[in-house]
Structure 1
């Protein structure tokens, strides 16, 4: 090292990542022209203050990763007016850095200031006050320094070009405040502090250039602002170990298409909503929280089996996994979700029998298993479930949670918005066997959809006990027998569909059944009654107007010779075309007018369909 001291004109000296040890030679302080000194990642020891204080021309001073000792007072750099970069991290516990005593004012403007893992301001634990006078910083790292005091939002406000801000693992308190302009920050690392309050709602708009966000292990609360979706280049976000609640904005994953790491654990006391995004692969294991109440992952491309992680959420009240690509069986552990009110697994590729464990979800009032490949019979134990339309969502109803509207106003039949439905949807599966009589014990159920299966047997008379029923769809099955007369007691029934079965007998014409139309019964040749324009007396013909379908059937029965029809149509077409060609050949005026019409049609089509007046063929 002493050999370098004779190079009086030396401007740059880089000695990083070597094995130099011992104290710094005092003669290094005589290199008055030195602009760049990198001694990082060596084993230098002793006190370096006396050497550094003499390098008044220095611009970049990198001292990290050594074993310096003693006290280093930052005031010795007060007159280093050219200093732009300072890096120092302690390699041991024997170095103490003081920035506050004595009082001093900097003549430099730093661009990079890294003092990670330093024994910084041991007596006061204050953030260096000289930073108040820095306005051009690009990167600041004061992590792992045990600093206390209010979170320094003024660092962002004073340094519009700051790209990296790392203050993790300190004891900073207070709230996070945004600057009053759109900032260029790329990396925000403030985890493991005591920061409280909510993230400002303009967070994603002001800090739209962020790529890395780690605000974990603080005390943030409230909802994650929807503006987070404006941070479109985000690669990693860690929100874990806070007190966030409400819905996680779906726009975040919809717009942040480059996101490859998302940490949410021990968070979101109310809800996670990641619906209608492009999520794929297996369901992540991060949904593991005793405080999670609502989990919405519908309309993604998630695949694999439904993971066992869900039973670790004993307070889960709504689970919506519909319209994904989940496979396998409905898990037998489903009964462990004892607080569940809403269960939707529709639109997946689930197979197997409907497990009896579902019947142990006694508080469920919406169960949608439609559009899967479930087979076997319908469990008769469904009568153990309440399906109460008055089921409560607990204390979440007393808070301002952004619950997806379709949970509160859920119609699993026609897609319309109606009052909250308490019901079962098992449609579009491969279920067989008879409909259990026990379903008639679900007195408060509002809707029942068993359509598009292979169910057989009779319509249970016990359905007359479903006094609150508003919608009953049994269409596209193999049901037989008559429609039970007792169903006229269903005074609230608004939707009734038994089409395309093998039912017979007279249709009901009292009470609500006076309001149902022919389409509710079609595809049942054995049914009769005025509604479907079919007499129940074979010797009579009803004097009522025929339906369109019936008229078509009768027209087909008149014995129209379809071969003759096709030949006559073809002959007429050829004749008209021949006459048109002859007219165009004889009359020049008509020929020009014809070409004008063709050109006008092409122009119109190109404008309407392609937005241009040039139609390429």
Structure 2
């Protein structure tokens, strides 16, 4: 219908226009109301009523029937009231307030539907003064993304909410300054930038939320005086910096204070802790705060949630810091530098619902006999002793991974009937899994990897019908895999509330003010679980855990056939049975695992063909059957199997077909039946290599004999030259024969010593086929290149060559790693932190540079312990291999000499040697956590800063060499506590002040241990200290 026809009658019936998609009635003289019958326009997508004299409220009944309506233009009319909330399909809304003089209240929430809202042009001066303006979760002024300019003329605002509106530009200090009676300001979740500066005191403001923007700079020093009656101040998720002003302590009514995810640093002002006594929620997480926060000065008795994770807070948790009793309490101090023992008051609290203390330096035992927690995370600490015997009907999440817990798993420990996630991986637990574990009917995630658990896998695990992730890898389980596992790994999504994201509940009492839409902060703490998928240990957080399922029994001693019943786990996504002793064939039922993404059956003794039905696994991203006794053809290079390389099949001599190099002949059946045992196959390769050896030897002998005859009968002067030539030729022939051996045939080889030869060239990648190899010695050769990238579980490895970035992933179970006296360059790989069993690490006499990675210092195995490797006939100590009748020897510099440590003494020796490189930066404080290390050598580098006091914690240290660096400051007096120290040197640095007292072991050190420090004084140096300043 064309516009400007000046229709005067009111709008009537539209029932006959049910196919109409666009209705434009703009700029007529239409009056009255919009009739409810407009809902009959069932196909209408755009309605334009601009420029008329329509009035009253919009018809909710009629507009709500316009299911396809996308555009609505109501500009220049006399409507009143509110827009119907049922207009959920709107993507464009045009309204005009230009002709309204008494407008005070405007509210439009788009309910997560990004509606485009454009305000009037910049030259428009409104006739009204708003008190209430809420335009939230809309695309406001999409073309410019600027704050509406008509707000320059507003001076009576009490509530301002422009959150989630995609606004850009500087923080509108002018808007705050023009409206001195503002009570509620919400500008969160925009893209505002610049400084957060308030131009004047806002005596009426009780809520200020500018979180999730791009604000920067420091807070103004008098911000506490600018907002004297503030109840809720949220500045999180910006780039604010500097220290917190002490004037915040003047906000005596402050209940919620959030500055998380910024760049604040320094200590939290004591005045803040003393003045803000009404604080209920304080979130300082993800900044750079330091100092001792949880000391006796901390007295915020009203706290319901304290969130200070991911900072650098120090010190212990004082026993005097004890929150009052509430229905629930949220405490998160994870990822800090807290230390000491866990205080006893935690056990006495009945209010806690959530406690996160992970990634700190807490030590000692857990002394609690009961617990009221529903979420408890003590992971990545140094807690020791036995697991506690407690009972709880509330505990749902328990994470104790990567500590030093030892002993068996007590039956009483499993009196946690409501547990959903149980993670006690990477400790030193031993013994069997208690049968009581079958009673945990709600258990969804069970992680026991990286311990010393043994015995058979109990059938009680099959009673865990709600399990979705189970990881028993890297233990010493034996026996067969129970067939009853077909019942586990639920396909259904369990619902435990918002379990995988733990929230801080907001307080319920509403502050004073005119607005009911106050957004209280809800702190999300995503539950994190690590599980091996796609060749690496992946981290799964939050709600993604609802969609993840898997079983991992790898790196054990499981035997027998793989139960075909596993093919009934149709909802499983990852299945890892690698590095065991499974025999028999691959079950065809695995083709039923329709959503499987990872299948690893490598490093077993499987035989027969690969079932062609597996090609139906269209989600498969990782597949490996390497290092078995499989035969026949590989699967067709179709679907997902067209993406797998030869690595997925290598180590199976009787397999053929792409992507392997070996082609199939007509005699190669798809799934042949083996005609001989693995022992016969082993004997075959032995006979072949023996024939090669004797043939080579015979040829060499004949050539040598002919050479001697030639020298004797032709010219006596050529004899010496000819003898050398023949010797070199024999040596070359022998070496060539040795290097061309088929490594893949040596499937049972456990020790390979090729040291002290003159081998050249690269390390053969085929060495990675030696999947049973435990000892590899290549010292004193001229080899280069990279480590083999296959999964090799080595105990000891010496190499000359290039150090790879992923060395920690290649050698996760290595115990002694010695790479000294080479020409390595670059920085030390951070992946070295994956070497969880590392006892000796020697990279001295190289050209490494950069800083020492903290990941390396987090390795907890720099301690003497008895490392045993379980076999079918029992374990044997690392230091001595009875089967070969030899003792292993490791050389490391201790007590000023390259000492040899042989046999069982290696069980009690640990050391870290990074000397003679180009390492820079400060000595990490974390070195002080290696409390049972015997030797530490950082000499001949370019380290700066001071000597950490934490080195005094190394109570077993016998050798400490920090000489030839650029260290400054004093020698910590606490080092005198190192009573086992036999070697100590800080020579040739820039140290100053007095030497330590000549007491205990320090009475045995000479002047040469301190020389080269011009500003040092005191015995045993000749320079005496002349004043108290020294």
* Counterpart residue number, 2:537: 415
Q: CA offset at residue 309 of structure 1?
A: 2.7
Indicate if the aligned counterparts of 2:313 and 2:337 stay in contact, CA closer than 8 A. Answer: no
Aligned-partner Cα distance in 1 for 2:314–2:588: 64
Cα deviation, 1:576-617, whole Å, max 9, x if unaligned, reads: xxxxxxxxxxxxxxxxxxxxxxxxxx9989572523595999
* Counterpart residue number, 2:525: 402
- By relative contact order (CA 8 Å, sep 6+), the higher-ranking structure is 1
Indicate whether 1:507 and 2:634 are aligned: yes
Indicate whether 1:478 and 2:605 are aligned: yes
Indicate whether 1:322 and 2:441 are aligned: no
SS at match of 1:472: strand
Aligned-partner Cα distance in 1 for 2:314–2:964: 44
Aligned-partner Cα distance in 1 for 2:585–2:299: 66
Mark the CA change 1:365 to 1:241 in structure 2 (over 3 Å): closer, same or farther.
same
Aligned-partner Cα distance in 2 for 1:293–1:607: 49
Aligned-partner Cα distance in 2 for 1:466–1:500: 23
Q: CA offset at residue 229 of structure 1?
A: 5.2
* Counterpart residue number, 2:373: 268
Q: CA offset at residue 249 of structure 1?
A: 1.8
* Counterpart residue number, 2:918: 608
Indicate if the aligned counterparts of 1:236 and 1:262 stay in contact, CA closer than 8 A. Answer: no
Aligned-partner Cα distance in 1 for 2:317–2:663: 73
Indicate if the aligned counterparts of 2:570 and 2:593 stay in contact, CA closer than 8 A. Answer: yes
Indicate if the aligned counterparts of 2:372 and 2:392 stay in contact, CA closer than 8 A. Answer: yes
Aligned-partner Cα distance in 1 for 2:652–2:366: 56
User: Which among 644, 667, 688 is matched to residue 516 of structure 1?
Assistant: 644
User: Which among 384, 387, 391 is matched to residue 283 of structure 1?
Assistant: 387
Which of the two has greater helix per residue?
Answer: 1
Indicate whether 1:255 and 2:365 are aligned: no
Q: CA offset at residue 266 of structure 1?
A: 3.9
Aligned-partner Cα distance in 1 for 2:457–2:635: 33
Q: CA offset at residue 567 of structure 1?
A: 10
Q: CA offset at residue 368 of structure 1?
A: 0.5
Please list, as runs of the form range in 1=range in 2, the aligned pairs for 1:215-614 lying within 5 A after superposition. Answer: 215=322, 218-219=325-326, 221-226=328-333, 232=339, 236-239=343-346, 240-251=348-359, 254-257=360-363, 263=368, 265-269=370-374, 271-286=375-390, 288-388=391-491, 390-397=493-500, 399-400=502-503, 401-406=524-529, 411=533, 413-417=535-539, 420=545, 421-509=548-636, 510-537=638-665, 563-565=730-732, 608=918, 610-611=940-941
SS at match of 2:632: strand
Indicate if the aligned counterparts of 1:475 and 1:498 stay in contact, CA closer than 8 A. Answer: yes
Mark the CA change 1:447 to 1:209 in structure 2 (over 3 Å): closer, same or farther.
closer
Mark the CA change 1:435 to 1:346 in structure 2 (over 3 Å): closer, same or farther.
same
Aligned-partner Cα distance in 2 for 1:211–1:475: 51
* Counterpart residue number, 2:703: none
Aligned-partner Cα distance in 2 for 1:250–1:332: 29
Aligned-partner Cα distance in 2 for 1:189–1:242: 20
Q: CA offset at residue 514 of structure 1?
A: 1.7
Please list, as runs of the form range in 1=range in 2, the aligned pairs for 1:165-176 lying within 5 A after superposition. Answer: none
* Counterpart residue number, 1:124: none
Aligned-partner Cα distance in 1 for 2:612–2:313: 67
Indicate if the aligned counterparts of 1:294 and 1:316 stay in contact, CA closer than 8 A. Answer: yes
Q: CA offset at residue 526 of structure 1?
A: 1.1
Mark the CA change 1:387 to 1:216 in structure 2 (over 3 Å): closer, same or farther.
same
Mark the CA change 1:457 to 1:208 in structure 2 (over 3 Å): closer, same or farther.
closer
Aligned-partner Cα distance in 2 for 1:567–1:382: 53
Q: CA offset at residue 414 of structure 1?
A: 2.0
How many pairs does the alignment contain? 398
Aligned-partner Cα distance in 2 for 1:273–1:426: 25
Cα deviation, 1:116-160, whole Å, max 9, x if unaligned, reads: xxxxxxxxxxxxxxxxxxxxxxxxxxxxxxxxxx9xxxxxxxx99
Mark the CA change 1:266 to 1:455 in structure 2 (over 3 Å): closer, same or farther.
closer
Mark the CA change 1:511 to 1:207 in structure 2 (over 3 Å): closer, same or farther.
closer
Mark the CA change 1:478 to 1:260 in structure 2 (over 3 Å): closer, same or farther.
closer
Cα deviation, 1:441-490, whole Å, max 9, x if unaligned, reads: 11111111111111111111111111111111111111111111111111
Aligned-partner Cα distance in 2 for 1:440–1:396: 29
Q: CA offset at residue 242 of structure 1?
A: 3.5
Indicate if the aligned counterparts of 1:428 and 1:453 stay in contact, CA closer than 8 A. Answer: yes
SS at match of 1:534: coil
Aligned-partner Cα distance in 2 for 1:183–1:341: 38
Indicate if the aligned counterparts of 1:365 and 1:391 stay in contact, CA closer than 8 A. Answer: no
What's the C-alpha RMSD, in Å, of the aligned pairs? 4.5
Indicate if the aligned counterparts of 2:314 and 2:336 stay in contact, CA closer than 8 A. Answer: no
Q: CA offset at residue 305 of structure 1?
A: 1.2
Q: CA offset at residue 494 of structure 1?
A: 1.1
Q: CA offset at residue 533 of structure 1?
A: 1.5
Q: CA offset at residue 410 of structure 1?
A: 6.5
Q: CA offset at residue 493 of structure 1?
A: 1.0
Mark the CA change 1:495 to 1:233 in structure 2 (over 3 Å): closer, same or farther.
closer
Mark the CA change 1:471 to 1:209 in structure 2 (over 3 Å): closer, same or farther.
closer
Mark the CA change 1:236 to 1:511 in structure 2 (over 3 Å): closer, same or farther.
closer
Aligned-partner Cα distance in 1 for 2:394–2:650: 50
**Long gaps (5+) in structure 1:** 1-149, 151-158, 161-172, 541-552, 574-601
SS at match of 1:298: coil
Indicate if the aligned counterparts of 1:500 and 1:524 stay in contact, CA closer than 8 A. Answer: yes
Aligned-partner Cα distance in 2 for 1:567–1:498: 34
Indicate if the aligned counterparts of 1:461 and 1:486 stay in contact, CA closer than 8 A. Answer: yes
SS at match of 1:486: helix
Cα deviation, 1:210-267, whole Å, max 9, x if unaligned, reads: 642352672273321428956646673412334333342224xx3345x677659443
Aligned-partner Cα distance in 2 for 1:264–1:435: 41
SS at match of 2:446: strand
Q: CA offset at residue 292 of structure 1?
A: 1.0
Mark the CA change 1:465 to 1:341 in structure 2 (over 3 Å): closer, same or farther.
same
Cα deviation, 1:84-121, whole Å, max 9, x if unaligned, reads: xxxxxxxxxxxxxxxxxxxxxxxxxxxxxxxxxxxxxx
Aligned-partner Cα distance in 1 for 2:555–2:336: 36
Aligned-partner Cα distance in 2 for 1:388–1:515: 28
Q: TM-score of the superposition, structure 1-length normalised? A: 0.55
Indicate if the aligned counterparts of 1:223 and 1:244 stay in contact, CA closer than 8 A. Answer: yes
Aligned-partner Cα distance in 1 for 2:633–2:322: 69
Q: TM-score of the superposition, structure 2-length normalised? A: 0.34
SS at match of 2:422: strand
* Counterpart residue number, 1:594: none
Instruction: Tell me whether 324-333 or 234-243 shows the greater mean CA deviation.
Output: 234-243
